[in-house]
Amino acid sequence: MPMELAALKLFHVACASIWFGASWLAGADVRRTLELGRPHADLLPERVRRLERLAIPSGVLTLLTGMALAVSIYGWREVPTRLYVILGLTVATMVVGAILVSPMWRRVAAVIEKGQDLQMARAPARWFARSLWVEHVLRLAALAFVVAR
């Protein structure tokens, strides 16, 4: 394997690992922190923003490096079907993040930042956590297709 391809694969795995790990405990953390109440909850928006600044670029880089690897290894016309499945699962993960995870987090953050009763954040926090689990399942399914040739 050429050195450039090995470096690309290593970077891809590193990005995917960060993307997988960054949000793994976020749902439980948000719910647990809300239960602790203030002042703990007041620190939550910044903590989740840091997580987003790590997870979102890592996800995009995982997608881009995966596509680059596929084209480098197989060429445009010979990409195996399973890699299209992986691409679909990856894009689906990002769509879930955009239409479910992020909006639910914004609702939780708005309650905290406006100083409202934290009880108002509990339902969106549950949906935030559930949506993250949908992302986790999609990412794990993509990983299963990567590993099982």
Residue 32 sits at the vertex; the CA angle it makes with 31 and 37, to the nearest 5 degrees, is 95
Residue 133 has pLDDT above 80, yes or no: yes
* Residue 18: burial class (beta carbons within 10 Å; 0-12, 13-18, 19+): middle
Residue 145 has pLDDT above 90, yes or no: yes
Structural domain span for residue 121: 3-147
Cα–Cα distance for residue pair 139/132, rounded to 1 Å: 10
What pLDDT, on the 0 to 100 scale, is given for residue 92?
98
**What's the number of domains the chain is made of?**
1
What pLDDT, on the 0 to 100 scale, is given for residue 78?
93
Q: Is the link from the previous residue into 39 a cis peptide, with omega within 30 of 0?
A: yes
Instruction: Tell me if 58 sits within 8 A of 22, measured CB to CB.
Output: yes
Mean residue pLDDT of the chain comes to: 95
Report, as an integer, the average pLDDT of 89-109. 98
